[in-house]
A and B are shown apart, each in its own frame.
Chain A
Amino acid sequence: MKLGKHLLGIEGLSKEEINLILDTAEKMREVAERPIKKVPALRGKLIVNLFFEPSTRTRSSFEIAEKRLSADTLNFSTGTSSVLKGETLLDTVLNIERMQPDAYVMRHASPGSCGFITNYIKGSVINAGDGPHEHPTQALLDALTIRQKKGGFEKLDVLICGDITHSRVVRSNIHLLKTMGANVTVSGPATMIPPYIEKMGVKVETNFEKALLKKDVVMMLRIQLERQEKALFPSLKEYFLTYGLTEERFKLCDSKCIVMHPGPINRGVEIASEVADCKDSVILDQVENGVAVRMAVLYLLLGGGENETSN
């Protein structure tokens, strides 16, 4: 069992590949519990974190994963780079390539940009979010959290609610959950649900309360306050009244339902504080699993050995 050279998206990954990543991530969790939280697996490998869009969570999570595996890291973000001086994506990449990196972790606003740079580099590319296209490691850490709490994915009823149109997290999660055998429903204001989303094998239910009925997993998405100017809904207050996950509404789900959120959360917009902090909320478990999943992906893409045993 071997992963490809790059991780550009969940689309195209098989059930076996996803399970391999999740199983490896489960084993990586042990490293975080040691007094010395570091293993030499990727010693001498150079990994470039190339972030053309702001990110705190994902970038720090990748950086911790890289450090725990002893890789060398180079951080590159638009705020401090020549991109501000007008350098193109390709020129930036070609320059960094001459420093012989073994992998790029890249976030960029344009869908497909991570796939694009694979044509110009020798190492691996890991997509850390390319516009509204995919964010594979987020879906994988969500999956690891679901598997830990629910034991598996078969016949699980999952609801994803929020701005479905602009969310790369949704796209990666739909691919993953469908591949693993779960049922997925999406909900949110009709202005935030793209036409033909049913073709991805999901159900659409714009009535949030109906959508919540008997769900095993509810994934709330962040309302991107910066998109408010597009007037996709009248006001934040109205959004909360219609689509906010309140304690009252949460009771409509299965009694063992868990609440997830990719963060950062807007309390009182898409989720009430009482729900975000309740015992069924696994939001912080997701963050913790993020490091393990990223360690697993880096190890599987970069940690090739000759054979399994040489005694």
Chain B
Amino acid sequence: MKQKEIKRKEILDAGGIARSLSRLALEIFERQQGQKDFAFIGIQRRGFPLAKRIAQKLKEMEKLNIEVGALDINLYRDDFSTVGTAPVLRGTNVPFTVEEKTIILVDDVLFTGRTIRAALEAIVDIGRPKKVELAVFVDRGHRELPIQADYVGLSLNTRREDHVELYLTETDGKDSLILESGK
């Protein structure tokens, strides 16, 4: 195998992530104002802790109690093939009804849009929300489907072959946004 030099750059540290999340939470609050019927559904694995953090911020800043569910989209993927390993299931747990609510889907990185396509299909199987919106922490471009986010924490210019990873304390032991690019 040809050795590739990989450049690893921290885009945001814990403090930066917290500030971006506060901004994201405020934006959601401003746009949802007057509407009480909204809830978060975080996409496993890192969208779920992110959704919980945004809900927590809304509680601290605006005294809102917003429900949070978790969605596992691995049973809805479009890239199953006979090679490779079946992805580990983290489980779907939406402990509230989605009917007549605005559901804000939360994910860490928006890239091809395929995860969101799968998530939309998964949500429809749970119920019929009034509206579905999308909040992502990072939008790194390179969509392969007609999907756009309604709320974006950070837009990042990347190349298709780069790798963007948002590490979170809940899943990885620390907060850090990393961009890896091959030379």
Contacts and interface: CB of A to CB of B under 8 A. Distances in A.
Interface of A: 1-2, 20, 23-24, 26-28, 30-31, 34-36, 38-42, 69, 102, 299-311
Contacts of B127: 35
Given A34-B126, A311-B109, A311-B114, A300 B86 contact: yes
Contacts of A41: 74-77, 80
Interface string B76-98: 11011111111111111100000
6 contacts: A27-B91, A40-B75, A299-B89, A303-B80, A308-B88, A311-B109
A302 B122 CA distance: 20
B75 A39 contact: yes
A26 B90 CA distance: 10
A-B pairs, 9 with minimum CB distance: A311-B111, A39-B75, A27-B89, A303-B86, A41-B75, A27-B91, A304-B84, A2-B85, A36-B125
A27 B91 CA distance: 5
Contacts of A305: 74, 77, 79-81, 84-87
Nearest to A45: B80
Interface of B: 72, 74-77, 79-93, 107-112, 114-115, 121-122, 125-127, 140
Contacts of B79: 305-306, 310
Nearest to B92: A30
A233 to B, nearest CB: 45
A38 B80 CA distance: 17
A27 B85 contact: no
Given A39-B122, A102-B82, 15 more contacts: A24-B89, A27-B91, A30-B93, A31-B75, A34-B126, A69-B75, A302-B86, A304-B83, A304-B84, A305-B79, A305-B85, A307-B84, A310-B115, A311-B109, A311-B112
B4 to A, nearest CB: 17
Nearest to B91: A27
Given A30-B91, A305-B84, A40 B72 contact: no
A198 B109 CA distance: 55
A232 B83 CA distance: 49
B112 A310 contact: yes
Contacts of B126: 34-36
A20 B87 CA distance: 11
Given A305-B79, A311-B110, A34 B85 contact: no
B91 A306 contact: no
Most buried by A among B80, B86, B88, B115: B86
B81 A306 contact: yes
Nearest to A25: B89
B114 A310 contact: yes
A261 B3 CA distance: 57
Contact of A39 (B81, B84, B91, B125): B125
A262 B126 CA distance: 33
Contacts of A20: 88
Most buried by B among A34, A36, A39, A42: A39
Contact of A304 (B76, B80, B109, B110): B80
A301 B115 CA distance: 22
Contacts of A26: 91
B76 A27 contact: no
Given A305-B77, A305-B80, A1 B109 contact: no
A28 B125 contact: no
Contacts of B83: 304, 306
A299 B84 CA distance: 12
Nearest to A301: B86
Given A304-B83, A311-B107, A40 B92 contact: no
A309 B115 contact: yes
A39 B109 CA distance: 24
Contacts of A2: 85-86
Contacts of A40: 75-76, 121
A305 B112 CA distance: 16
